[in-house]
A = this chain, B = another copy of it.
Amino acid sequence: MAEPLFRRLALLGIGLIGSSVARIAMERRDIAAEVVANARSQATLDRVLHLGIADRVELDPAKAVAGADCVMLCAPVGAYAALAEAISPHLAPGAIITDVGSTKVSVIRDVGPLVPAGVHFVPGHPLAGTEYSGPDAGFTTLFQNRWCLLTPPPGTDAEAVAKVRALWERCGAMVDQMDPAHHDRVLAIVSHLPHLLAFTICGTADDLEGESRKEVLQFAATGFRDFTRIAASDPVMWRDIFLNNREALLEMLARFTEDAQAMARAVRWGDAAYIEDKIHRGRRIRKSLIELKQA
C-alpha cells in the first residue's frame, strides 16, 4: 500500500460527495491515516458512525479540523463563509484546505480571505453526483472516470495542488486545472442551467389545473420523467449554487431563452427546416459526447 497522502483528513459535510470520499478513504487507507467527519447535526454523525465511514466524528468544525493536514469543505457552498470563519483560527500550519463546491469564484471570494498565512487553499470540484443526498447516498465508485477540476488561485503552492490532485486520482477521478471564472461559465451551461430548467418544468406541471396535473403524473413519458430525476436533487445545495453563480447562470439562461423563443417562433410559423436543423444539432452533440465517452 502507498504511503497515505495525509495524516488526518477532515470532511466538513458528509453528504453524497463527502461520504463517498470518506468511504474511499476508509477502504483504501492510502488517502489519509485518519478520517474525521463533521456535520451540522448529531443525528447525521451517529449515522456516519453506524455506517462506519469515518474513524471519528466531531460536531464542532473547529475540533474536526484541529490537527488535520487536509480539510475538505463538503457542505453546500452557501455555508462556506461561516464554516471558514469557524475553522480559520484552528487550522494547522501547512494544512491544505480544499472543497468540492460547484461554484468556484464564490468559494474563492468567501473562503480565500479567511485562509491563514501558511495554510494552502486549493479549490476543487468533482463533476460527479446523483439525485440522492445524505451520508447513505455515497458510494466508492462515484468519481470513477469522472473529471475533478481544480481552480487554485495564482501563486498557490504547487506541492499542495499536487497532493489534492493525487487525492482525487486515488478516488478514481481524472484531474484538470481551470480558471475559476471559466469553470463557473462552463458549469453554468453543463449543469446549473439544466437543473434550473428541470426544477422549473416540474413547477410548471405542478401549477396545471387539477385533472391535467393528475394526468401529468400518470402519463409521465420519457422526457418529463428524465427531468424529474434531475429535479430530485438536494434543494439547499442547488439554491446555494444558483445564488453563487448568478452572473454566469443568468447569462446562460438569457441565451437559452432567446433560443427557445426562436424555436417557438419556428413552431408558430411552421418553419420545418429550422426545427429540423436544431434537432440535428442536438444529435450531433450527443454523438460527440459518446465519442468522448462522457455519455
Contacts and interface: CB of A to CB of B under 8 A. Distances in A.
A194 B224 contact: yes
In the A-B complex, list the 6 residue pairs whose CB atoms are closest, starting with the nearest: A194-B223, A231-B282, A202-B282, A235-B279, A232-B286, A190-B224
The oligomer's copy count stands at: 2
Contacts of A232: 282-283, 286-287
B228 A289 contact: yes
Given A278-B199, A281-B203, A190 B229 contact: no
Interface of A: 78, 127-131, 147, 149, 182, 185-187, 189-208, 212, 215-233, 235-236, 238-239, 242-243, 246, 249-250, 252-257, 259-261, 263-264, 267-268, 270, 272, 275-276, 278-289, 292, 294-295
Contact of A203 (B128, B225, B282, B295): B282
Contacts of A201: 189, 193-194, 197, 256, 259
Contacts of A238: 275, 279
Contacts of A233: 279
Given A199-B281, A202-B285, A249-B267, 16 more contacts: A78-B272, A149-B219, A190-B219, A190-B221, A198-B223, A203-B259, A203-B281, A217-B288, A225-B295, A228-B286, A235-B283, A236-B276, A238-B279, A242-B275, A246-B270, A250-B264
A226 B229 CA distance: 9
